Amino acid sequence: MPELPEVETIVRNLRAPLVGRTITGVEITWPRQVVKLSPREFTDRIQGQRVKVIGRRGKVLLFTLSAETLFIHLRMSGDLMVVPTGTAREKHAHIVFSLDDEHELRFKDPRKFGRVSLEDMTGKFGPEPLGSEFTATTLAKGLASHSRVLKPLLLDQTFLAGVGNIYADESLHRAGIHPLRKSDTLRPEEVSRLWCTLRRVLHSAIRHGGTDLGDRVYRDGGFRPRVYNRECRTCKTPIRRITVGQRSTRFCPRCQRVQGCGLVNPSPTSPTRGSRR
């Protein structure tokens, strides 16, 4: 699913063609994607509004309009694109915004999990990992205030906004921290490494326009994670895969040793079936 770097890439790509444009109409073929409003109510409220600013909060896109804010959550398979009016309609383009320059903003979502809303979808989000308010001290206090398994905590959007499965695994791998460590067992130097690697990995993925997982590339992303290979690029040990909090989790059993403290009982491990690179 698109995570923070992918959503940030979409935001940057949409600014030039959309900012300053006026929404002249909306076509909705899957009404359940609109939160708490009927298609007619949604269209009546948004039609005629001008796009002033496009931003992001966590994994949610924010369109600041003339009178209110449009929130779009891409979820598992959503994508947004601007195309000339009359371009062949994609099969899964369930919401189409007509613009005043003979173009359309299309929300394509094969799995139909994405949502659009005129109500705030971000009120309970934690700090932005790339924001100035997110410091190593902030992370240390947050980790110490919980006694949770580290990997699911990093995925908790109320703890940290925008980090998903791929970038949590990659950040923990580069920081040399086991994903099953308890959050309140990390030493100060480990917290500092995790804070640095989180920001470094996210910045790098944004620069590359998203992630390349070999057989799965999101929007031509060029970022190549180290932990999604068959073996660790650092020590050549086979990467292991376990299930943590119902999410597939990859780690190197040599580079990410638990060092004798704070490890919960893992589920059975297996060699990864990730990229063959």
Active site residues: 2-3, 59, 247
262 token code pair? 């704070």
**Long-range contacts of residues 207-213, Cβ cutoff 8 Å, at least 24 apart:** 208/5, 209/5, 209/9, 210/2, 210/5, 210/6, 210/9, 211/3, 211/5, 211/6, 211/166, 213/166, 213/274, 213/275
Q: Whole-angstrom Cα distance, residue 139 to residue 194?
A: 9
| Strand ranges, E, within 210-269 | 240-244, 247-251
Return the HEC string of 23-75.
EEEEEECCHHHECCCCHHHHHHHHCCCEEEEEEEECCEEEEEECCCEEEEECC
